[in-house]
Structure 1
Amino acid sequence: MTENEAQIEKEIVDKGLTAARITPGEIDDTILTEQYHVFPGTTLTVCALTLKNGFHVVGESACASPDNFDREIGRKIARDNARNQIWKLEGYRLRSALAEAASYEELIAKPADQ
């Protein structure tokens, strides 16, 4: 969890926002493995995260000046970019589940003669 995410989480909790949502911890829990590759002769770093369900997300970083290239910084940025992809996927999954639950509630609330 990033420092910014921790601050946002605290604000959410402090405001008592208790509806279904995705947390940074849940995002981290979806990650099974991570792999990195720096393309030879470049500053392009790619991070591939394998999620627990077998899906893969990819993030990248590239340094404009080769003189400033640092392998560890490149890995951190590429991983953050890959991890950010998971938010969209998990948000979509949760929204679909909520919509499905709402449709089910509407269906069982209708009188049998309709």
Structure 2
Amino acid sequence: MNETNTSDPFTQANIQKADAFLAQFIDIKQLLPIKEGLTKEMIEYFNQFKFSTQLSIGPLTYQERQKKIQKYRQKKNNRQFTKKNHYDYRVKKAKSRQREKGRFISNKK
């Protein structure tokens, strides 16, 4: 019983198609180590760039920057664009004054 699964993604023809597609974007010399797995030298190379939370991004450390970004996002989410009266006394006084064509007028007229 020789059953061949034509939908198998790991057939030689499919692998060659995938390689040809990736070769458009990546040099074939870079593709081979990826296919074979990381070598010891590659692992050591990538370990040099291990991400550290103590690294500074400009004058701030990573953690300080994350706190500032979080504070900014929180303030952004709490913004209110509705009109707000800061001085209720002024509003009451303005409503009680006489107006003519929308302008305040004196009571002496």
Same fold (TM over 0.5): no
- Rg (Cα) greater in structure: 2
TM-score, normalised with respect to structure 2: 0.25
**Between Structure 1 and Structure 2, which shows a larger proportion of strand residues?**
1
Which of structures 1 and 2 has the larger relative contact order (alpha carbons within 8 angstroms, sep 6+)?
1
TM-score, normalised with respect to structure 1: 0.24
